[in-house]
Amino acid sequence: MSNQIQFKSFSFKDLPVRIITDQNLDFWFCANDVCAILDYTNPRQAIQKNCNPKGVSIRDTLTAGGTQSMIYINEPNLYRLIIKSRKPEAEPFETWVFEEVLPQIRKTGKYEVQSQQLALPEPDLNLTAIQNSEETLALIIQLYSYCFQAHEMQEKLQNTSIAKLMENQIGGQYLYNFKHPLEQVMAKAKKYVHANTERLALVKAVNNLLN
């Protein structure tokens, strides 16, 4: 990286973030940009109240209206404004700056937005695999219906003489397992069926387009 002052402008959720790297390779952040993201309505007041004056600097900045003198703050002061902010965006902004932008600039001299593509399931052209998945889902659905009946039976047997007899003869763990443990398993099975039904529908649709 060059020892000259470098100016860079990035975007966080469509809001600009201007950053300067000085001769000592220290980062300075445009106070107006930071305060807009963190919902400080009065940047000067926020800086006076929360920032160390040693980490505040005036820099000439090229804007759409020409060169303007703007306030920049260093990393420690940026962190001070973040932790004092009550806006929900403060935490993701902190993560973005300190875990994405700055490490990448230090390593490569620049920051590039990583393209995020929608992760679609790869089309499985093996119809046998699709059929096997459908059979598995059908089996889980059938087992779910049996589990539902067992859970319903447990609720009907609560506080009855039959329940007490079963507890004395074979133990109370069997009816107990048909309550909360079974409810948890059924919830997971239901979630699995919904997710994989959508996935199979998408895979079959992609296959139809490719055929």
Residue pLDDT, tens place only, 59-90:
988 877 788 899 999 999 999 999 889 888 88
State how far Cα 4 lies from the chain centre: 37
Q: Are 182 and 149 in contact (CB under 8 A)?
A: no
Q: What is the DSSP string of 159-206?
A: TSHHHHHHHHHT-THHHHHTTHHHHHHHHHHHHHHHHHHHHHHHHHHH
Hey, what are 90's tokens? 């403060």
91, 134: one domain: no
Q: What region, left, alpha or beta, does residue 149 occupy, with left being phi > 0 and alpha being psi -120 to 50 degrees?
A: alpha
104, 52: one domain: yes
131, 191: one domain: yes
Q: Examine residue 140 and state whether it is found in any structural domain, yes or no.
A: yes
Residue 72 has phi, psi (to 5 degrees) of -125, 150
The 10s digit of each residue's pLDDT in 27-50 is: 999 999 999 999 999 999 999 999
| Predicted model pTM | 0.50
Q: Which amino acid is at 190?
A: K
Residue range(s) defining the domain that contains residue 153: 127-210
The band of 142, judged by pLDDT with boundaries at 50, 70 and 90, is confident
**Helix, strand, coil % in the chain, rounded to nearest 5:** 60, 15, 25
pLDDT at 121: 47
Separation CA 84–CA 92 (nearest Å): 14
CATH number, domain with residue 48: 3.10.260
DSSP type of residue 55? G
Q: Examine residue 147 and state whether it is found in any structural domain, yes or no.
A: yes
Question: Which has more pLDDT, 182 or 58?
Answer: 58
Residue 123 has pLDDT above 60, yes or no: no
Q: Examine residue 114 and state whether it is found in any structural domain, yes or no.
A: no
